[in-house]
Amino acid sequence: MTGDMDEFWVFGYGSLMWNPGFAFEEKMPARAFGFRRSLCVWSHVHRGTPDHPGLVLGLDRGGSCRGVAFRVSLEKREDVLDYLRRRELVTSVYLERILPVSLSDGRQARAVGYVVDRGHMQYAGALAVERAAEVVRSSVGQSGPNDAYVFNTLAHLKEMGIRDLWLEGVGAAVAA
Q: Is residue 3 part of a domain?
A: no
Q: Is residue 2 part of a domain?
A: no
Convert the pLDDT of each residue in 52-81 to its tens digit. 999 999 999 999 999 999 999 999 999 999
Q: Residues of 154-167 as b/e, b for ≥16 C-beta within 10 angstroms? A: beebeeeebebebb
Residues noted as catalytic: 88
CA–CA separation, 159 vs 62, rounded Å? 25
| Domains: count for the chain | 1
CATH number at residue 87: 3.10.490.10
Picking from 168, 157, 34, the residue whose alpha carbon sits closest to that of residue 102 is 34
Domain encompassing residue 54: 8-175
Q: Is residue 120 part of a domain?
A: yes
Q: Is residue 159 part of a domain?
A: yes
Q: Is residue 1 part of a domain?
A: no
Convert the pLDDT of each residue in 114-143 to its tens digit. 999 999 999 999 899 999 999 999 999 999
